[in-house]
Structure 1
């Protein structure tokens, strides 16, 4: 993301046509029935906004489905984890949508080549992660912008995270929390054995990251872009795809930027 580009703006549009989507849980389905009875619904291609009812899993799924449409997504929490969701209420939904603040996020693009020469191309909103497939630790070579930066990382794996995903798996792996408007990516090892004290790196979001798998027959590795997995990979390329901009809506005072900032002071 460009540091000069505003990432959080107030929307001035009226959201008349709403497409509702919901997870399969009973809370989400009950909310879907309530809201469609009150506000109606339409098909997503005809909608001014998509309202997602569920948890963060549904939000990621919805963002993936509408990645290239430019349609803003507004989530309400009716699931398990709700970091990316607004509070649930049936009252004045169109007023809340009109007052919402918009955060713009860009996904990662993963290009993974497996041992059979098959190339797997997927986008990730949170992170691209490489994992060992067996009891053997992964041995990985890391290049940044075609320059070798680490000849061999011995670990359970490594991940590349966006600012939006920095509070997800990246944080669990002891990676840094990134402000949503930071033009950065987090490169974070997963249970590193050697170098034992390497905690990862902060990279510009223009970086071209290449991770090569060493001893792949003995130490097979899988690559995962959010929920899309490629097995037995040899080489994984990762970069920020600035050709895609996804629009997320948040209630005033509860923007994604504010949530990420608050997470850094949580105990």
Structure 2
């Protein structure tokens, strides 16, 4: 229907062109028609390359038996055939006929292919819904691991380790603490109840052949008796056994001082922490790895 309507429009445009180029000399007077009919124009009045054939058709159209205009004898009115019937009865120009034939062949081909244009237009107006895409699930983030490497006696050593771990993608922070460090071991007899008791004990030790005896006269160990200070714990224990063999009981007490120590706090994923532990164990076996929850409160010392 779409192409038939287009064909009718083209035919009407052709008729309009002929009407604009009509030959005034070839005009034919027709009987009066009823009011409201409008102006009627014969094809013979059109002046164009098809004028000769149009004149012939106009002559036929002017005859009473042409079936287009019928005049009743003795009447001033004429009966006009509808425009649709007149257009259908007129001969189609060769160019338009060729276009119509091509269009008909195209429609027939689409019908055989099972893809009429109406279906194509409908598909364009209602495009198929795009399939819903399912977003891949985001992998759950691995919780970080927190802890500290230490203790280090020198701050430069701890700082070097912190910078090395940071270059490998770990979050690090340097922290300083104080701790008591043993610098030797006392072999001693604990403080006596009084000064007189301490003096008497010193006398007994000397009578047993024990030398290198000192008595504490002040401090936390007042009225105690020192039997020697040793840097090595084994040597201190050997002196303790010697005193015991002579009938006296002595103790080995560490001699402590307060020294600064340094720790490297870290926070990272488990794989990086494992690699760091392996490297530190090879180079610094005495360094400990103390892990703690990552929710630990941050302090001015640098703990996460």
Give the TM bin, normalised by the shorter chain. Answer: under 0.3
**TM-score of the superposition, structure 1-length normalised?**
0.20
Higher RCO structure, 1 or 2 (CA under 8 Å, sep 6+) = 1
| Bigger Cα Rg | 2
Higher helix share: 2
**TM-score of the superposition, structure 2-length normalised?**
0.18
Higher strand share: 1
